[in-house]
Structure 1
């Protein structure tokens, strides 16, 4: 069943694919932000964080049993859309988002590249119980280990500081 997207309160026909529909949604959101949020307000849009499923999606026995970061030479194998792996969506979505934000005063908070390395930083095997994976499955999407979210906060803080300095 195709997704139904709306423009001006009416369904768009013919139905759009996911990425074309996302473009419509983003255009609407960006237009609203540009029109309704005061120019003096700092605006940031965080791009997608990567997932690290291996061997299938979360509901297809995908796993992320890693205890060390990925190497640089492994990243394209995991995340390049041309490889059609389960983790490709972040890069594809980010391209669409960056296109929608181009030419606006919304700053892009791109944490994807640095986070792609950290396949070891998901809750998958760190939930504290020996049988946690069997009970809860593997969470290869969220982040739990110190380092990744802390780095995100540091980067956001620096962007805010930099933005405030350039305004004066």
Structure 2
């Protein structure tokens, strides 16, 4: 069995590059003008990348796209005094307030980007490996409050993107293993019935 694993993440945040400082996208080695906004640029990149992989990777290969893992800034973004000093799971209401794009929450970009990815993958042979929603509840699993000192976040800053507690990344691995085993078992049963 062959596995391909692709991921695009927080660098594609639709708010990260303001219109005054746009990214420059290239096609066939030449810059594209007029300049694309970040959303259109991401859609173009995904379209070309997915088409290349669909053409180049064997049909029987397992192609997974892991959705973005969320960050948990509260009270502002990373550069606006946001923090993630939480030691409890978020409630359903908190998750929707923080992540639902309609609510304009600080962490909404994860769902915005994931929707663009889901739209780009529609009709392809990629399987979505969605870790986002289960991870949105785990504001408590970032290193921010687990650095050994109560004032560690003041000394070293907030890390509301990476994960340090066991549990959540282990759950991702369990889901990934189940996907791989399911595909492997499916392929074995196909061979058995031929």
The verdict on a shared fold, with TM-score over 0.5 as the criterion, is yes
**Band the TM-score falls in, shorter-chain normalisation:** over 0.9
What corresponds to 1:15 in structure 2?
35
What corresponds to 2:88 in structure 1?
68
1:81 partnered with 2:101: yes
What corresponds to 1:55 in structure 2?
75
Q: Which of structure 1's runs of 4+ aligned residues deviate more than 4 A?
A: none
Measure how far apart 1:131 and its partner are: 2.6
What are structure 1's unaligned runs of at least 5 residues?
none
Residue aligned with 1:107, SS: strand
Residue aligned with 2:139, SS: coil
Measure how far apart 1:43 and its partner are: 1.2
Residue aligned with 1:43, SS: strand
Measure how far apart 1:130 and its partner are: 3.2
Distance 1:25 1:122 in 2: 30
**1:25-36 equivalences in 2 (<5 Å):** 25-36=45-56
**1:38-49 equivalences in 2 (<5 Å):** 38-49=58-69
1:117 partnered with 2:119: no
1:133 partnered with 2:132: no
Distance 1:48 1:96 in 2: 11
What corresponds to 1:24 in structure 2?
44
Residue aligned with 1:28, SS: helix
RMSD of aligned alpha carbons: 1.1
Distance 1:61 1:23 in 2: 31
Distance 1:52 1:100 in 2: 26
Q: Deviations over 1:120-163 (max 9, x none)?
A: 11001101123311111111111111110000000000011111
What corresponds to 2:16 in structure 1?
none
TM-score by length of 2: 0.83
Measure how far apart 1:31 and its partner are: 1.1
Distance 2:77 2:119 in 1: 27
Number of corresponding residues: 168
What corresponds to 1:104 in structure 2?
124
Q: Deviations over 1:63-102 (max 9, x none)?
A: 0111100011221101011122220010000000011111
Measure how far apart 1:40 and its partner are: 2.3
